[in-house]
Structure 1
């Protein structure tokens, strides 16, 4: 007989985590956020169930980006002078969403995972009633407490 433990959807309540983006690198922050959203940081993770948590990112405007790299996009190929446009990274919230969204697992539940991500430009956010757990050190996170 198989004794494999498979949790149900209501096995654990979804937790809320808050992360301050001030002076954090984009790639390292987004990899931690994706593991929290998908639930891969939990010891009872099962890929067939949605066991991820909610994540609040505050101070998104102070995230560390490599702004020395310029990106170009060709809007209308074949038109000299008008087709090549330089893209400027003005909105750090959109950059964060795009990076985290591209790191998420591909498939149907990708949109549902993205809805659990809340990004705010300042420290003020309307989710104080959920009692979010603050994560200060991204390298030494203890998820199993």
Structure 2
């Protein structure tokens, strides 16, 4: 039997919506990275872009286990002398809640051209509503989790996995 090598033009990306309310950080990031890469397909090939779009809502309500909320540290560096900044999970969650999920998911994606392409398909929002500034008719539009089915988005339920 000949090996099937899927072509990019045969794959139609899907949109998945995940509600992060009271979900554990690592488990949510793992599922999101799998969906971004397209690992749920039967013909997954690591070198071919078969990824999907992932929208994560309620990023400010994510949780971690144990004392990680106080002990987990995030580092960033401006590459200038004395430019190392250290921030705890709680402070970063108060300041930019979506950054925590972005960093966790980015660490699970491949580092290269495909990884950057997958990362561009990730949308993280701090609350349960998505606000678009411009639409085709020029008006602003708000989409909430309840109306995800109207937009052909697939809601992901993490309790069953």
TM-score range for the pair, normalised by the shorter chain length: 0.7 to 0.9
Higher strand fraction (1 or 2): 2
Higher helix fraction (1 or 2): 2
The separation in 1 between residues aligned to 2:28 and 2:40, in whole angstroms, is: 14
The separation in 2 between residues aligned to 1:7 and 1:131, in whole angstroms, is: 24
- What pairs with 1:30-69 in structure 2 (closer than 5 Å)? 30-65=29-64, 66-69=68-71
Equivalent pairs counted in the alignment come to 134
Partner of residue 103, structure 1:
108
Classify 1:31/1:50 alpha carbon distance in 2 versus 1 (closer, same or farther; 3 Å). same
Calculate the TM-score normalised by the size of structure 1: 0.79
The separation in 1 between residues aligned to 2:49 and 2:76, in whole angstroms, is: 39
2:120 to 83, 104, 115: 115
CA-based RMSD: 2.5
Instruction: Work out which of the two has the higher radius of gyration on C-alpha atoms and give 1 or 2.
Output: 1
Query: Is residue 70–residue 86 contact of structure 1 (8 Å, CA) maintained in 2?
Result: no
Calculate the TM-score normalised by the size of structure 2: 0.72
Structure 1 alignment gaps of length 5 or more: 78-82, 141-145
Classify 1:110/1:67 alpha carbon distance in 2 versus 1 (closer, same or farther; 3 Å). same
Q: Which 4+ residue blocks in structure 1 deviate beyond 3 angstroms? A: 70-77, 83-86, 126-130
The separation in 2 between residues aligned to 1:25 and 1:17, in whole angstroms, is: 18
Structure 2 alignment gaps of length 5 or more: 133-142
